[in-house]
Amino acid sequence: MFPALETERKQETLPDPYEDFMYRHLQYYGYFKDSLMLSSPLLRSRQLLFDELDQVNPRLREPRELFAFFSSKGTLQAPRWPIECEVIKESIHHIEWVPPQPEYFYQPTGNEKLPEIVGEEKGTVVYHLNPVPTEGSYFTSSRVGGKRGIIKELAVTLEGPEDDTLLFESRFESGNLQKAVQVDTYEYELTLRTDLYTNKHTQWFYFRVQNTRKDVTYRFTIVNLLKPKSLYTVGMKPLMYSQLDANIYNIGWRREGNEIKYYKNNTDNGQQSFYCLTWTIQFPHDQDTCFFAHFYPYTYTDLQCYLLSVAKNPIQSQFCKLRTLCRSLAGNTVYLLTITNPSPTPHEAAAKKAVVLSARVHPGESNASWIMKGFLDFILSNSPDAQLLRDIFVFKVVPMLNPDGVIVGNYRCSLAGRDLNRHYKTILKESFPCIWHTRNMIKRLLEEREVLLYCDFHGHSRKNNIFLYGCNNNDRKYWLHERVFPLMLSKNAPDKFSFHSCNFKVQKCKEGTGRVVMWRMGILNSYTMESTFSGSTLGSKRNIHFTIEDLKSLGYHVCDTLLDFCDPDKTKFTQCLAELKELLQQEIHKKFNERGEEVNLEGSWSDISLSDIESSTSGSDSSLSDGLPVHLLNIVDELNQKMMSKKKKKKPLQTRKQRNELHQKNKLMPEFKLTEDASDRAELAPTLQKQSTFYKTLENFRSSAMKNEKLSLSELNGGERSTSMDSKMTLILRKNKEKMQSKRPGFTPSCPQRGSTDSSQESAPESSQNFLCSFRPAPLENVVEQPELTISPCKLHCASRCPQASVGQR
């Protein structure tokens, strides 16, 4: 809870609803003109605030928070785990640290060893988690602390101080290690746990080892990776963290490892191929506790600590409002931050454009959280640029879209067992709450204001540098505009961001991603930001691993580029557009030369499809959606049926005009066409040619009726109307009416009977009247085109002929 609001709650009780109602009621009717009345304690509402002198200048209190995120003592919400997961009680925390020297890529020597996989048949299992839920099972419930009961000791028991067996552990937040097998004194084979409720997605690892020995070379080999390509083949090193180094020397995560090799596993289960990652390491201390990770971890608890510091900051909490977007499948809070400076007037507040940012839809891509943290650090600062951005934008930020996956150590999926970034079009609110509520929030935001930019932060496992995926714009008015922001970002961060690696092709298999769904909702600048797990190949950072500070700095560059992108002086924007056109011309020439074709770009070269020029995006092992789990298929079918039934329901008619138009269009005209034969049309055509004169006469009658309300309807019956119809016309009309009534039992004409409501009255004039009212607009083949009329015949007849119509209608 925000401190100011918490203090208010301590000092006052909740307002009496009746007291508040009476106060507003009396105030509305002007009973508080006297200051004595207004200051009366009997009539005063606790929902109003007064100034220090208690003067007559009340104002409404700001709405209180809907959820108490953090208690007054500052304790965090404990993560909720699936009930199948065992969780140790220890709290894991790492310090942030920037290496003083660049951490270069590993340079292969060509002599790297490829260990043959031995397995537990010939080795000794020293760590093994209980069987975890895989494909075919599904999430049922969660609780704080995970599985009930006593936590078992999974590591082997040391036989004495001389026993140098490593002790493994991964049952902590974001940890991932399923099994460790000792195949030699200092050599271990490691098996990663798949994403819960799936049988794949093994990429992220994060585990702890204890009982280390100094100056001894250990070898670790992960044996069940699934991607055929990896950044480990081009110099990426694993990360190591020494607890003793952190405590003594304030040293944090650092890149370590030698003899790094990524290769195909020689074992085959007949279903899918596995790949291995092997490396050697020397620990810096004896009896140390060390951690290994695929990338710098950023847990759900780390996020909550950061948000708690923002909530407790009296300045930042004024322009950063923390809300609950929704609860995840396991019941963990998905946070939504709204960041903007208060506007002087409601008009200026409504004119602000919005920027939407999100991260960690893929839980194993922790680099996304570090970029997000850099963005939040800057936008919440007192920098003049940050203040300007808060003045002109409303920022909607979802810093962790998939907290469940982050907590349990998944690489790609939520507890639904599916990649959330392939299900942004889902209708399953309960099964995919995080992305359903995110899409719904953005949909409501689009109804309120323009969303200038949407960006979802990700990590990339096959490419170096940082880059964007966007969506080619089909509107020629904004041709290439979606590429301006990425190009500007590459100029602001030239040693980290690669515009050449950006791609703007919209593939069919990516239709369910946040980027494409938001683009189709109307956000032109809709992006996925991809950050490498490794480092840069550009400029001054060439062949150097990214640090935490490098990623955080990119969050700042996003803010800086936003200012350039929205600069009222369009010089930079125009220059970037011109540069983009030149780059595109070069790319077109290159593509046609590769095909051995000639192209002339002197004419309308901008009409060439950009999708044909670009290659498809790559790097995801989940490009194709797995579809829905079996237990959700029936739910989807039921929801689709309900939606279809709602679409079939007709909207209730609201006016008489709508009823008449509906009868003309959908009921009477089609039946008249079906029942009318060719001979009737031929006989009817000469008569219908006289309608123009007849309608003018009716209009004159209507004018006279408005002047004299007592004009009898019988006089109108005996006028020019009866003399203009011959007997043959009357027989044809009566014949058509009988046919229609026989086909539609119980049908009542839309207009009342002319003259009198007596059913014994002659029906021939009524038939003619109903025909002209209902069938006048029918498009007949032989009807001569009529002069333009200033009033609808149906409206004329209904208004001037109906005895039940009011004077105003006549």
What are the two backbone dihedrals, phi and then psi, of residue 59, each rounded to the nearest 5 degrees? -140, 150
Q: Measured between alpha carbons, how far apart are the two ends of the chain, in Å? A: 64
Which 3-state string (H, E, C) describes 396-442? EEECCCCHHHHHHCCCCCCCCCCCHHHCCCCCCCCCCHHHHHHHHHH
Amino acid at 311: A
For 682, the token pair is 């031929």
Q: What is the dihedral of CA 339, 344, 345, 350, to 10 degrees?
A: -20
Which 3-state string (H, E, C) describes 305-351? HHHHHHHHCCCHHHHEEEEEEEECCCCCEEEEEEECCCCCCHHHHHH
Distance CA 587, CA 378 (A): 36
CA dist list (Å): 427 to 326, 336, 414, 451, 628: 16, 21, 16, 23, 12
CA angle 226, 228, 234 (to 5 degrees): 120
CA angle 555, 75, 248 (to 5 degrees): 65
How long, in residues, is the chain? 810
Distance CA 244, CA 264 (A): 35
**Given the structure tokens 């709508």, which residue do they identify?**
658
Pick the catalytic residue: 530, 549, 766, 788?
Answer: 530
Alpha carbons within 13 angstroms on the beta-carbon side of residue 576 total 22
Residue 740 belongs to what H/E stretch?
Answer: helix 727-743
For 787, the token pair is 């002069």
638 catalytic residue (yes or no): no
**Given the structure tokens 């029942």, which residue do they identify?**
675
Distance CA 370, CA 389 (A): 21
Alpha carbons within 13 angstroms on the beta-carbon side of residue 532 total 29
Residues in Cβ contact with 205 at an 8 Å cutoff, skipping those fewer than 6 apart: 176, 177, 190, 192, 222, 292, 293, 294
**Given the structure tokens 């000791």, which residue do they identify?**
153
Answer whether 640's CB lies under 8 Å from 483's CB.
no
Q: Is 672 helix (H, G, I), strand (E, B) or coil?
A: helix
Q: Is 356 helix (H, G, I), strand (E, B) or coil?
A: strand
Amino acid at 255: R
For 22, the token pair is 């009476």
CA-based nearest residue to 261, from 291, 289, 220, 290: 220
Residues in Cβ contact with 415 at an 8 Å cutoff, skipping those fewer than 6 apart: 82, 139, 196, 197, 328, 329, 330, 404, 405, 408
CB count within 10 Å of CB 269 equals: 9
Tell me, what DSSP letter sits at residue 608? S
Q: Is 660 helix (H, G, I), strand (E, B) or coil?
A: helix
Answer whether 407's CB lies under 8 Å from 81's CB.
yes
Distance CA 143, CA 32 (A): 53
Answer whether 478's CB lies under 8 Å from 381's CB.
no
What are the two backbone dihedrals, phi and then psi, of residue 391, each rounded to the nearest 5 degrees? -75, -35
**Given the structure tokens 């990338």, which residue do they identify?**
295
Residue 369 belongs to what H/E stretch?
Answer: helix 367-379
Distance CA 155, CA 129 (A): 10
CA angle 406, 304, 210 (to 5 degrees): 60
Q: Please give the positions annotated as active site.
A: 530
